[in-house]
Amino acid sequence: DGGITQSPKYLFRKEGQNVTLSCEQNLNHDAMYWYRQDPGQGLRLIYYSQIVNDFQKGDIAEGYSVSREKKESFPLTVTSAQKNPTAFYLCASSLRDGSNSPLHFGNGTRLTVT
C-alpha cells in the first residue's frame, strides 16, 4: 500500500532533550511538509521541502530542524530550543510543491514533553 508512515504514534521526552520524528513516504512524491497541530487551532507549517537536499522554513520553524537526504524521508527534530514542543505533529507529501495537487497526510505523532 502506498502512503505516508509516521513513527512512533506517541512519543514522550524530558524537557531539554532533542527528539527526532520520522516520516517516510512511498508515493514517489517530490514535496514533503511538516505541520504542527494544537487543540483549537488549525495546522501550522513548520518546514517544507520541494526537492531532495533543499528545504524552506514555514511559519513556526524556530526550535525545529529538518533534513531531506532522500526523496522518501523527511525527519523532523524538535530541539530543546522549542519553547512549547508538546503537540500533534503531522507529516505530508505532494506530487510537486503543492501546485494544484493535494497533500497526503500521515496519521501523526503525538509528542509530550515533561
Q: Tell whether residue 76 is a contact of other proteins (CB under 8 A).
A: no
Query: With binding defined as CB under 8 A, does residue 106 bind other proteins?
Result: yes
Residue with Cβ nearer other proteins (2 or 102): 102
* β-bridge pairing 31-37 and 104-105: unpaired
* Nearest CB to other proteins, comparing residues 80 and 88: 88
Position 99 contacts other proteins (CB under 8 A): yes
Between residues 72 and 97, which has the closer beta carbon with respect to other proteins? Answer: 97
Report the first-to-last Cα separation within the chain, whole angstroms.
Answer: 36
Does position 97 interact with other proteins (CB under 8 A)? The reply is: yes
Part of the chain binding other proteins (CB under 8 A), chosen from 12-20, 31-39, 61-69, 78-86: 31-39
Q: Which of 11, 13, 27, 44 binds other proteins (CB under 8 A)?
A: 44
Residues 102 and 86: their CA atoms lie apart, in Å, by: 27
Find the largest Cα–Cα distance for the chain. Answer: 40
* Cα–Cα dist 79/83, whole Å: 9
Nearer to other proteins, 11 or 43 (CB): 43
Contact 34, 42 (CB under 8 A): no
d(CA 7, CA 110): 10
